Amino acid sequence: MSEPVVVVYDPITTIRWNYDVERETLAEHGVTLLLPPTLDEARAVLPRADVVVASGKLPTAELDLMTRCVAVVCYSVGMDGVDATRAAQLGIEVTNVPDYCTEEVSDQAIALFLALQRALVPTAAAAATGQWQVRDWDEFYRMRRVRGQTMGVVGLGRIGRRVAEKAQGLGMTAIAHDPYPTDAPIPFLPLPELLERSDAVVLCAALTPESRHLIDAAAIARMRDDAVLVNVARGGLVDEAALAEALHAGRLRGAALDVREVEPTPPDSDPLLGMRNVVLTQHVGATSVEAFADMHVLAAARILDLLRRHGRLAAR
């Protein structure tokens, strides 16, 4: 059995990040980790790869170069950056690292929700410039008590379940919509009914061709005028033009988005900038010291499991 090779197609280089844990863990099992510094060099070594790791989008054309590859590991929870249909045609498994940031993303969802309830971002920004008088703002009179509200969670996977549990811990009622209902002790509803009943709708669903623009103008029209929308999943779940139109028209109380359909969204074409009832963050929901440490360990474990299952590494 030849020594397995793992290629990181697009190594993370823009932040303080290294792959020492993955490299050392894989080396203990005789597996080589390659970190090509350019995409051209990545393409040159893809034919050697038993497993490919993709931090972002993996162009479909690259799959055809991966003649030895048994699996692609998305270095994230989401897997929408890989053409799963073409990968399946080539016999390449597509998987992810699902457990590394469950607490962080669910925390981010609750934090964004609370920021909207308390108009935290605009009032804090005003206070930072010495502005004290905010009692003439519409947002001042639309703050809500959290206890007693209903949170509708769309997508009840690991993260969605934790969002629901944390909402319940705040004294809220949690309801859910998911195309694959589970035995979770939370009422499952059709999406239209969830939208109509929820004070807050939190998106935790995967982005698929079927779920793109799941929250469009028609869906927003079903939501209450005093409801808020929170998205910590994928930006493509929301029709942002329809959302901006509804917010400007007062058909929603607010929105908080950690993810956008285009990242980063060009400031000169972003319809959601400059609104006091909108909170925008930079896709940071998965971030924490603990999550980063978990990612290294769990990614290495996932790679080793894949190599063993596909016969590229001897079982223990």
Which amino acids are annotated catalytic?
234, 263, 283
- Residue 139 has, within 13 A of its CA and on its CB side, a CA count of 22
Is 14 in contact with 40 (CB distance < 8 Å)?
no
CA distance 204 to 254: 18
Residue 153 pairs in a beta bridge with 176, 202
Q: For the chain, how long is the longest CA-to-CA vector? A: 73
Q: Which of 54, 58, 59 is nearest to 11 (CA)?
A: 54
Q: Which of 97, 19, 23 is nearest to 291 (CA)?
A: 97
Q: Which amino acid is at 186?
A: I
Specify the DSSP element, H or E, that contains 160. Answer: helix 158-169
Is 161 in contact with 184 (CB distance < 8 Å)?
yes
- Dihedral sign computed on CA atoms, order 49, 71, 296, 315: negative
